[in-house]
Amino acid sequence: MSIFSSILSKLGIGSADAAEAPVAADASPASVTAPAAAISDVDVVSKLDGLAAASAEKLNWKASIVDLLKLLGLDSSLAARKDLAAELGCPASAMGDSAQMNMWLHKAVLQKLAQNGGNIPADLLD
């Protein structure tokens, strides 16, 4: 199972099949568009906010890919994040700088969640 499929599964979002299509390597996360018909309508913000409230750690999933992965109980190590970034088609220019990769990856994950039926507010997709 891909890392992104694990994210979808943890959030209870529809079929993981649609997650297998990578983001184009030259595309910014903001250029990825959602499908015309959502697979499901999962309130991702409520789910993640609920997990954050129940967590002993203060995690800011809205700004940090590390915190997002931790909330979902997934590996948040640099190696795991690099694997996820490669899976989602992170540009090579961002892969060499962990801060750039993390910012790209956070936006890409939220975009892909929206594509797969997650209800993500527009302000988190910018």
| Dist. CA 112–CA 126, nearest whole Å | 13
* pTM, two decimal places: 0.79
Domain boundaries, the chain: 41-125
DSSP string, 63-123: T-HHHHHHHTT---SHHHHHHHHHHHT--HHHHTSHHHHHHHHHHHHHHHHHHTTB---HH
**Three-class SS state of 10:** helix
For 31-64, what is each residue's pLDDT tens digit?
A: 444 443 444 588 999 999 999 999 999 999 999 9
CA 8 to chain centre: 9
| Dist. CA 118–CA 126, nearest whole Å | 16
For 86-120, what is each residue's pLDDT tens digit?
A: 999 999 999 999 999 999 999 999 999 999 999 99
